[in-house]
Amino acid sequence: MIRKAFVMTVDADQHEEYEKRHKPIWPELEAALKAHGVQNYSIFLDADTHQLFAYAEVESEAQWASIAEEKICQKWWRYMRDIMPSNPDNSPIAKDLREVFHID
């Protein structure tokens, strides 16, 4: 299992809306994530900086990358683009983090 961590940002006045849109996440999106080997996926918010910290465990980098090709994922990105900084393809601007410590 590969542990992935990355950061994104939510607009300062959209914290509540971001959380609302994830409660619950669309069942079709959850199913797509799981079908692509995603497990144990969490997103945390630092309300002071508007930064989102995401952590997921994935079976492979290829499966993780292929989620972006799913129509439901692209639909989600379009749905979220109005409350967070996004790339031209509507994906959220995200920065991968490098693991420097882990303990089981």
**Mean pLDDT per 10-residue run, the chain (104 residues)?**
97 98 97 97 98 97 96 98 98 97 94
The reply to whether 15 belongs to the active site is: no
* Exposure of 81 in the CB half-sphere (CA atoms within 13 A): 13
CATH fold of the domain at 2-97: Alpha-Beta Plaits (3.30.70)
pLDDT of residue 24: 94
Rounded to an integer, what distance in angstroms lies between the CA atom of residue 102 and that of residue 104?
7
pLDDT of residue 37: 97
List alpha helices for 1-104, DSSP H. 15-21, 27-35, 61-66, 71-80
In the chain, where the domains are located: 2-97
Q: Which of 22, 36, 50, 102 is catalytic?
A: 22
Rounded to an integer, what distance in angstroms lies between the CA atom of residue 79 and that of residue 64?
20
pLDDT of residue 32: 97
